[in-house]
Structure 1
Amino acid sequence: MSAQTATLKPTTGNNARRDFYERIGALSMAPLWESLHQLVPPTPAPKYVPAHWSYDAVRPFLMESGSLITAKEAVRRVLILENPAMRGSACCTPTLYAGLQLILPGEIAPSHRHTQSALRFIVEGEGAYTAVDGERTIMHEGDFVITPTWTWHDHGNDSSQPMVWLDGLDIPLVAMFNAGFAENYGADEQPVTQPEGYSDARFAHGLLPVDWKASRQTSPIFNYPYARTREALERLDKDGPPDACHGHKLRYVNPANGGAPIATMGTFMQLLPKGFASAPYRSTDGTVFSVVEGAGESTIGDTTIRWKKRDHFVVPSWARVTHRADSEAVLFSFSDRPVQERLDLWREDRGGK
């Protein structure tokens, strides 16, 4: 009998399976039947948890960071909103990154680009700018601003007050594909080659330039002003009753294709009338919320979070959630829903049992 044949000979008795697993392990193999229930679960079993960041608690640390490091030295002065169950990962959910960025008066966050797509949701202040591929836009509280993949972008604050915004990026998704690239620009600021409002004039009025053709999946609009969004929500509130699960909820769209402004992240704004209590809801997209106006509470599974203006919280995938508004409230949110929908994975339950 050869040595190889002897190695493959199975062991009998109670240790037969363990012995078998050890022998196939030497070939970098494993038995599916030992992990099938984890790999193909009957329902989603997220390994992250609901979390809440009170702006009253966070803001002093943001301001302190401004005295410890400059925007230029940091490149991006951001405090990461890291899920408590994923410490060390720099992730808010397994597919989404979230953080709060501070730009002080007179500062510039240097120009760079990367394959990760980014959104900016303005939390505090107005008058700072972001520049994307040669066009600047002035940002105001509640504005939703996008930075498409692989576009040069820098930020500056010409106002007299600190500016804070929520950064949302698809960093974990890009990392999963090992598709991350980044490059610094040769100067702090890129040249401004287009007049302010250039994109808005051409793409934000239900019209497109006659010969314009989309070169990527990202929206050609990169600033969605809160004033317009708020007006649309108010009109919805006047025209009919709120949806039982969402109140009055709108999704931001790419005018070129009707899809999400960013291919990997869906963005939403919803109005909860005063006293509104939502029906239970759950969906497979983990969602990060930013409170724009008002106060209330959300019950996520067995966790109840009290929130108010400028707070942030996260609802994990397939977690049952209900919202209740003490006063009229407006919530901005973003999730990985567009990716799930493209892959025919997204699912919702409007009963949440």
Structure 2
Amino acid sequence: MNEPHLKNSIDRAAFYKELDTLNLAPLWEVLKGLVPTDPRPFAVPFQWSWTTVRPHLLAAGAAISAEEAERRVLVLENPGLRGKSQITDTLYAGLQLILPGEIAPAHRHTQSALRFVLEGEGGFTAVSGERTTMHRGDLILTPYWTWHDHGHDGVGPVIWMDGLDVPLVGFLKTGFREEHADTAQTSSRPEGYSEARFGSGLLPVGHVPGSLTSPVFNYPYSRTREALHKLSQNDEADPHFGICLRYVNPVNGDWVMPTLGTSMRLLPEGFSTRSYRSTDSAVFVLMEGEAEFTAEGQLPVTMRPNDIFAMPGWSRYSIRASKGDCVLFSFSDRPVHEKLGLFREDKA
């Protein structure tokens, strides 16, 4: 076999074209893109204003039923990822509306999901045969591959934010989905059963975890807010996070879901966080007060209650509580970074 004389002896363009016909490619032409010096997300920092989005969500309620849509949701699409149904490079988020008397049909999928309630009373989610009532600020979990449906017994619209690991599961090509034979599940446990069994700092003797997700699937805002308040009266605020608590799996102390990490923080009025960035991408929702978000390379934006902000990974930002004590919910893909040994943060 004749060995080609590669060094400066052939037309590179012709050589690359020949490699292409053999399904080969020169690494030296793409190496810096494959192994960059630092993370380079496609997503950009972006805010969705509640006062702008809510009317359009209500208009969707008049245009299509929950049953017809299956899930009546407006997807929060990052401007840097249009058409991909992603709020960041690794996360999905959308705003879901359910009206009185409606049922969002039961199904299950391998994507893990969370519901963060923004408005209304009387809505409920049923997971694996157990129902839980929704209240503003509640964090409700839907573990991967569990049957779940939503309904509404009250008056007026109920709206929540869905957060899922859809992009991560899609990248791994491990997405499965199944429709339930019935529109809604039959209750097999009373409401509050999981809370009583696992949410009181107690575990049944001999309990063997059956899932990587927390067995508590409703974390009430009333309890979270009380904890933040008490800590704010005694603890010094962290310079980067304020008073910040993460939701935990009571079985092992880990994050509540294997792919989604959730937290709630309180910033006292006038408090400004120091500049911070980390490899995980995050989604913030303001619950109380007003906050000024400053992301690297952008002008500051004002966040008001129920406003949502997408923060791509390795993007530097700071937050100032500009009016009243600010309470912020967030979810991110940090658990994945930690378990793979990839998590990194930079505190200015």
**Scaled by the length of structure 1, what TM-score is found?**
0.95
What corresponds to 2:148 in structure 1? Answer: 153
What corresponds to 1:115 in structure 2? Answer: 110
Alpha-carbon deviation of 1:188?
Answer: 1.1
Q: Secondary structure at the match of 2:335?
A: helix
Of 188, 192, 198, which residue of structure 2 is paired with 1:193?
188
CA contact (8 A) 1:103 1:162 kept: yes
Correspondence 1:34 to 2:29: yes
Alpha-carbon deviation of 1:18?
Answer: 2.0
Distance in 1 (CA, whole Å) between partners of 2:144 and 2:84 is 22
Q: Secondary structure at the match of 2:141?
A: strand
What corresponds to 1:345 in structure 2? Answer: 342
What corresponds to 1:178 in structure 2? Answer: 173
Of 329, 334, 341, which residue of structure 1 is paired with 2:331?
334
Alpha-carbon deviation of 1:16?
Answer: 2.5
Distance in 1 (CA, whole Å) between partners of 2:194 and 2:290 is 34
Alpha-carbon deviation of 1:15?
Answer: 5.9
Of 211, 224, 228, which residue of structure 1 is paired with 2:206?
211
Of 305, 308, 312, which residue of structure 1 is paired with 2:301?
305
What corresponds to 1:277 in structure 2? Answer: 272
* Equivalent runs, 1:1-353 vs 2, <5 Å: 9=4, 16-303=11-298, 304-326=300-322, 327-351=324-348
Cα deviations across residues 153-198 of structure 1 (Å, max 9, x unaligned)?
Answer: 0000111010000000011111111111111111111000101100
Distance in 1 (CA, whole Å) between partners of 2:341 and 2:4 is 45
Aligned amino acid, residue 57 of structure 2? L
CA contact (8 A) 2:89 2:312 kept: no
Uncovered stretches (5+) of structure 2, i.e. residues with no partner: none
Alpha-carbon deviation of 1:344?
Answer: 0.2
Alpha-carbon deviation of 1:19?
Answer: 2.2
Distance in 1 (CA, whole Å) between partners of 2:327 and 2:235 is 17
Corresponding residue pairs, total: 346
CA contact (8 A) 1:11 1:19 kept: no
CA contact (8 A) 2:121 2:155 kept: no
Alpha-carbon deviation of 1:239?
Answer: 1.2
CA contact (8 A) 1:288 1:315 kept: yes
Distance in 2 (CA, whole Å) between partners of 1:12 and 1:203 is 68
CA contact (8 A) 1:10 1:16 kept: no
Percent of residue pairs identical: 53
Alpha-carbon deviation of 1:127?
Answer: 2.0
Aligned amino acid, residue 158 of structure 2? M
Q: Which moved more, 1:43-52 or 1:56-65?
A: 43-52
Q: Which moved more, 1:51-60 or 1:203-212?
A: 203-212
Alpha-carbon deviation of 1:46?
Answer: 1.3
Cα deviations across residues 118-142 of structure 1 (Å, max 9, x unaligned)?
Answer: 0000011122110000000001000
Distance in 2 (CA, whole Å) between partners of 1:127 and 1:74 is 21
Distance in 2 (CA, whole Å) between partners of 1:316 and 1:15 is 43
Q: Secondary structure at the match of 1:322?
A: strand
Distance in 2 (CA, whole Å) between partners of 1:287 and 1:305 is 17
Q: Which moved more, 1:255-264 or 1:14-23?
A: 14-23
Distance in 1 (CA, whole Å) between partners of 2:80 and 2:10 is 36
Alpha-carbon deviation of 1:14?
Answer: 8.0
CA contact (8 A) 1:199 1:221 kept: yes
Aligned amino acid, residue 315 of structure 1? M
Q: Secondary structure at the match of 1:63?
A: helix
Q: Secondary structure at the match of 1:29?
A: coil
Distance in 2 (CA, whole Å) between partners of 1:339 and 1:296 is 28
Distance in 1 (CA, whole Å) between partners of 2:314 and 2:195 is 36
Q: Secondary structure at the match of 1:294?
A: strand
CA contact (8 A) 1:109 1:156 kept: yes
Aligned amino acid, residue 215 of structure 2? P
Distance in 2 (CA, whole Å) between partners of 1:155 and 1:242 is 38
**Scaled by the length of structure 2, what TM-score is found?**
0.97
Cα deviations across residues 259-307 of structure 1 (Å, max 9, x unaligned)?
Answer: 1111100001000110011110000001001111111111111222211
